[in-house]
Amino acid sequence: MTQNVVALNRTDDLERAEALFNQYRIKHIPVVCKDVVIGMLSFTDLQKISLAEATNDEHDINTVVYNSYTIEQVMTKRVVTITPDTSIKEAATILSTSSFHALPVVEEGMLIGIVTTRDLLRFYVKNF
């Protein structure tokens, strides 16, 4: 699991989200309220709303679109989480049978990490 999790607050805006996706080269960001996971935002979520609202002026499209929505409107609200005790096999099973690619890791309700399909692939390559 990745322990230094990049997270968003429910009050952050989508421009901040895009900046974090680009800065850290990640594809999934948990959304938290006082370290409790309340949603998940993926880079694909941002792409979907940008494409849905596309105009002829591509320079300003992200600003216009991002100002039209809040993180809570775009994020996935039903998030599957795991605990630090969840086995690698169980995490891989969840991700391989689901339509998402990241699992927030929570302990006593608080976000402490994230496991992504990329993390699982790195583990596999390193150990096999």
Measured CA to CA, the distance from residue 99 to residue 45 in angstroms comes to: 13
State mean pLDDT over 18-33.
96
pLDDT at 54 over 60: no
Q: Indicate the pTM of the whole model.
A: 0.85
Q: Which CATH architecture has domain 8-127?
A: Roll (3.10)
Least confident segment among 16-20, 48-52, 60-64: 60-64
Which tens digit of pLDDT belongs to each residue from 3-14? Answer: 999 999 999 999
Are 116 and 27 in contact by the 8 Å Cβ rule? The answer is: yes
